[in-house]
Each structure stands twice: as structure tokens, then as C-alpha cells.
Amino acid sequence: MTTQTSAPETPGKTPTTQAGLIAIPPHLGRALATGGAVLTIISTFLAWTWTSAFPGDLTVYGYPGGLQVLVLIGGALTTLFCLASYGIKGLGWLTPAGPDGAIKFAALATFATSWYTVIAISADLGGVVNLEPGAYVVAIGSLAAFLGALSLPFEHPAPDPIDPDDTSWEHTRHKAAHKWETTKAAFTSSTPRPVGQLPAYAEILIIVAVLALGLTVFTYGIGTEYDELFVGFLITAGFGFAALNKAGLVAQASQITARHQNITICGAFVAAAAFPFTQTDDQYATLGVYILIFATVALGLNIVVGLAGLLDLGYVAFLGVGAYAAAMVSGSPSSPFDVHFPFWAAALVGAAASLVFGVLIGAPTLRLRGDYLAIVTLGFGEIFRITANNLDGTSGPDITNGSNGISSIPNLDILGFDFGVVHNILGVDIGRFANYFFLMLIITAVVVLVFRRSGDSRIGRAWVAIREDETAALAMGINGFRVKLIAFAVGASLAGLAGTVQSHVTYTVTPEQYLFAGPIPPNSAFLLAAVVLGGMGTIGGPLIGASLLFLIPNKLQFLGDYQLFAFGVALILLMRFRPEGMIPNRRRQLEFHEEAEAPTVLTKAGA
């Protein structure tokens, strides 16, 4: 066996190795991390406390439960990365980018979850006297693994061989070659097949495994039954994802899914459709349908912000316009119109109403740019809410019933399928919210299709040109006003389409549901955060970002007044360490991490 102490060297640059944070020889630190991780795994099969008063029942020997399962996962991940660092045959695929960074984050996930559990047991039950030997073993083992990981060396790329202050022609030539090669690498689709690339069927199996893992993690996270377990899940999932990213597995999975986009998208919808079948009641299917509504609206906003680069701070108003329009024509007794349209007609009314409002607001304002446009859209969002609140028959015409809203919106009935009753599908009882979940999944598929087709079209390329440099785009003959107005109209109509389903899911539409900011999404601030955090200009980014931004605040309600504080800290950390978003597109990844790829490109240019 050979010892692997650093990541593979990148052609064209020599990495500079720095010592770890702790003055322990790397080989001893790696052994300490491995031993600590193994000891942590063993501890999960021991009792951590003597009483079942702490949730999860950590009193059983030989069977991990509750938070012990998360610690077991973290310890196993740390052990695998440590074994891969020794060059054991068959484990090299685990760390294509080098094992040391992955070991650090995996050990941190294990240490943080273990010590959080030990401290929570002591705090909830009244002191360390309530700890059993397993708790002491996991505390010592996870600490040893973390200290051993900190002793591993850090590697940094060598500095740019070209002096940045040099203004000579040679430096200018290298800079131009670098920018050309970077751009070509980002947009060339006919790159040669890399040596050692897996066959197509193997890559499809990897996609299936990734989607199955995603469904498992999401189902586990949304189904956490008590607060301590959800906090532990956040710690393990967050640092675990960082470990996989440092190991290079996330980048490899992204490359594979990019080569099979159609299969990935179809597989993702199949995995999402399987979610209601994993639930025994509507408790978590309720969160699922709200997440889909929020995610679909965020994807519509991604057209405006991610593709066209228009900062819209009042986008949630278009969701409200669609919801109100659909509620008024869906047979509600509090509606001013005594009509009951079928769903397809109500959906068209909601989407058309939002489109009209998008054009009416965009036509006089889209000649503005940047902060000025953001202020105008923020004003539109507030105007919509105040207007809906005043159309109560007293301050204005009786159209929206003011603050009472439009209530008693009936359940949908499409071709005899009543969404308000329980149906048995494949032997599984599917309740009301699960029925709406499947309907919203179809709406999401439509929005994804519109986003993808429009993004790849001529108008989509014009949106990107406007986003990158509007002045240059105008100079090349693009009608900036028309292009931006189309983006505004398309994004608004997609939000209105989602609003038609939301009005039936919630039974009642009120102005307070459509604020700029608030503790619970959807609102304009959370929608914008979902697009930015998930990944601007991508399909999966806003969907994942919206899922996280809806799920986490709902699960952190036990923090009370500190809920938004903790949530804000999490957002700051995510933006600090992954500014391009959870699933970035290639262009934004190059913008934020261009310096890491520059030496390689310069070598190619100078060859």
C-alpha cells in the first residue's frame, strides 16, 4: 500500500503544501483520524443514556437510534475517506480531488453531531450524570478523529506565474489566451471523450443512485420527528455535503448529469413522484406541496433574475394576482363573480391575469436598470398588497373582500377525480395534499420545460447577453426593452400558474400571504434568496434552494425569536463558502473560482 498525502497535482502548476493546524506528523494524524472514526462507529452500538426521556431512545445496546444513526453515517464517511487516503485498492474513486479536505469536513460533521448530542442529553436531562459509557466513547472518538484531521496538511495552488502588474505585450497575450480558453471550455459541447470515462449505462446507474440518495435525504429531513434530530440532521448533511464536494464527488456527479440532462430531469420527477408513497399520512405531504409551489415560483423568478439579470423585489405579487384571479372564478361563495370555471380555464385566467399585470408594470419601468428597477418592483409588490386589502367595499369596490380575502375555495375536481378525498393508488392511500402534490408536480414540469426551452432559444441567449452587459447587447442590435419585457411577462405568467393551485390548496387567499419579507415563505425576499442560493440560471438550483428555504424555517420554529437569526447565520455561511450557489452553472462557477483554473489554462495557451 502507498500513502497518499495530497491531492493530485494539476498540470501546469505546482501545489504548495502547508502544515496542518496541529503539530502532529501527517501519518500519525491520519492514523488518529482513522482510529477515532472507527471508535465513533463502535460507540453508536452502545447506550448513550440510561433513560428514554431523551427523544430517540438512546438506551439500546447493539441498535443505533435517533441521533446515533447520523453519527454512524458521519463516522463511516470519515473512515472511508481515511482508508482511501492510504491508497487501498478499490477506494480511489471516493476521492478524485484528494482525500485530506474530505477527511477534515467528514470528521467535523461527526464531531459536531456527536458533541451536540452529548451536550443536548446533559442539558435536557440535568447533567452529565445521565450519560452512559457510549456517550463518553463517542465524545473521545469523534474528538480524536477531528484532531487527527486537523493535523493533515493544507494545499494551495502556486501563484500565477505571470506578474499581475506586468503591462507587457507577452502578459496581455497570455491574458487574452486565458480568457479565450476559459470561455471555450465553458461553452464547447463537442469536447473529446475523456480517457477512462464510464460507459453510458454505468453513468445512468450513477444518476439513479444520486437521485435515490437525494430522495432518501429529503424524506429523512422532512420527516424528522423532534427538534434535536433535525438540528443534528442539518449539521451532518451540511458538513457531509462539504466533505463530498471537497472529495470531488459532487463535481463528478455534476459532469455526469450534465451529459445526460434529459435522463436526469425525468429521473428527478420520478423520484419526486415517489415521495407521497413514502408517507403514511398528509402531515409531511403538506410540506411537500407547499415546497413545490414555492420552488415553481422561484423557477419562474429565475427567468427574470437568473437569465435576464433583472432584480425583481416584488415578484410574489404575481403569485397573488394568479391566486386571486383563479379564486374569483372557481366557485367560491365569497367571490364577487358567480361563476365556477373548470381548472384548466381557471389556470388560464390566473396565468393570463399575471401576464397582463407583468406587461402593465414592466412597460413603463423596464427602461430602468439595477437598483432603480429593484425599487420600482418593490413598490409594485407593496401596491398590490395594499390594493387587495382596500378592495373591501368600504375603501374601494368590493372585489377582494379586503383583509378577509376570498375564502371557501372548493377543492378541484378534474375529470371526476376529486382532490379533496383520499384515493388508493397502488395499495397506498393518497390524501388531499398528496393529490395536490401530484398536480403541482405536473405544473412544475411545465415550468421546467418552458424555462429550458426559452433558455436555449434565441430569446434566451438575448436574455443572457442583457444580463452580462446590456450596453454591449444593445450595441449588437438586441432590442433590450422588448427582450426584458418578454422575460417579465413569461416569469409573471409562470408565477400566476402556480398561484392557481395555491388558492385551492390553502382554501383562502388573503393579502397577508404576499409580503415582501416575513418569517414563512413564500415572499419576495425568500424567493430571491432561493434563486441566488440555489444557483442562478439553472433548473435544479432554484428547486433545491426553495426546498431548503421552505423546510428549514418550518423546522426551526422551536427557536422562537432566534429562528430568523439562526437562519440568517446559515445563509451567511453558505454565501461565504459557496457564493455561486448550490448548483451553479459553468459561467458563474468560473466567475467565482476563475483563479483556481487559470494556471491550467495558461499552460494550454502557452503550449
Could you count the other beta carbons within 10 Å of the beta carbon of residue 233? 21
Q: Residue 173 has what pLDDT?
A: 44
DSSP 521: S
- Are residues 43 and 173 in contact, defined by beta-carbon separation less than 8 angstroms? no
Determine phi and psi for 478, rounding to 5 degrees: -80, 130
Half-sphere exposure of residue 64: CA atoms within 13 angstroms, side-chain side = 16
Q: What is the CATH number of domain 260-556?
A: 1.10.3470
Q: What is the pLDDT of residues 362-372, one digit of tens each?
A: 888 877 777 78
- Residue 140's pLDDT band (boundaries 50, 70, 90)? very high
Here the contacts of 356-365 (C-beta below 8 Å, separation 24 or greater) are 357/317, 357/318, 357/321, 357/492, 358/318, 358/488, 358/489, 358/491, 358/492, 358/493, 359/485, 359/488, 359/489, 359/492, 361/488, 362/484, 362/485, 362/488, 362/489, 363/485
Q: Please, are residues 27 and 20 in contact by the beta-carbon 8 Å criterion? A: no
Task: Give the confidence band of 590 by pLDDT, cuts at 50, 70, 90.
Answer: low
Asked if residues 59 and 51 have their Cβ atoms less than 8 Å apart, the reply is yes
Whether 32 has a pLDDT exceeding 70, the answer reads yes
Question: What pLDDT is recorded for position 74?
Answer: 93
Helical segments of 535-585, H only: 540-555, 563-577
Q: How confident is the model at residue 596 (pLDDT cuts 50, 70, 90)?
A: very low
Q: How confident is the model at residue 519 (pLDDT cuts 50, 70, 90)?
A: low
Asked which of 152-166, 257-271, 313-327, 553-567 is least confident by mean pLDDT, the reply is 152-166
Confidence check: pLDDT of 199 > 70: yes
Mean pLDDT of the 211-235 span: 87
Instruction: State the Rg of the chain over Cα.
Output: 27
Residue 4 confidence (pLDDT): 44
Taking 50 as the threshold, does the pLDDT of residue 176 lie above it? no
Angle made by CA atoms 500, 501, 507, in degrees to the nearest 5 = 95
Three-class secondary structure of residue 192 per DSSP = coil
Total residues found in the chain within this entry: 607
C-alpha 18: how far from its chain's center? 33
Q: For the chain, which residues make up each domain, given as ranges?
A: 16-171, 260-556, 569-607
Q: What's residue 589's pLDDT? A: 60
- Is the per-residue pLDDT at 71 higher than 90? yes
The residue behind cell 414592466 is: 362
d(CA 7, CA 214): 27
Q: Summarize the confidence of residues 517-533 as an average pLDDT.
A: 76
pLDDT of residue 154: 65
Give the span between the Cα atoms of 433 and 470, in whole angstroms: 44
**Does the pLDDT value for residue 191 go beyond 50?**
no
State mean pLDDT over 112-119.
94
The residue among 393 and 105 whose pLDDT is bigger is 105
Q: Which span out of 221-225, 233-237, 395-399 was modeled with the highest average pLDDT?
A: 233-237
Q: How many other C-beta atoms are found inside a 10 Å radius of the C-beta of residue 338?
A: 8
**Which whole number is the average pLDDT over 152-168?**
50
What average pLDDT is seen over the chain?
Answer: 79
pLDDT digits (tens, 9 = 90+) for 423-437: 777 777 777 888 888
Predicted pLDDT at 591: 58
Span of 459-463, 574-578, 599-603 with lowest mean pLDDT:
599-603
Pick the residue with more confidence: 601 or 117? 117
- The candidate with the shortest Cα–Cα distance to 585, out of 423, 405, 474, 456, is 456
How far apart are the C-alpha atoms of 440 and 422, rounded to whole Å? 17
How would DSSP label each residue in 197-240? PPPHHHHHHHHHHHHHHHHHHHHHHHT--SHHHHHHHHHHHHHH
- Over range 480-508, report the average pLDDT: 87
Rounded-to-integer distance, Cα 40 and Cα 104, Å: 15
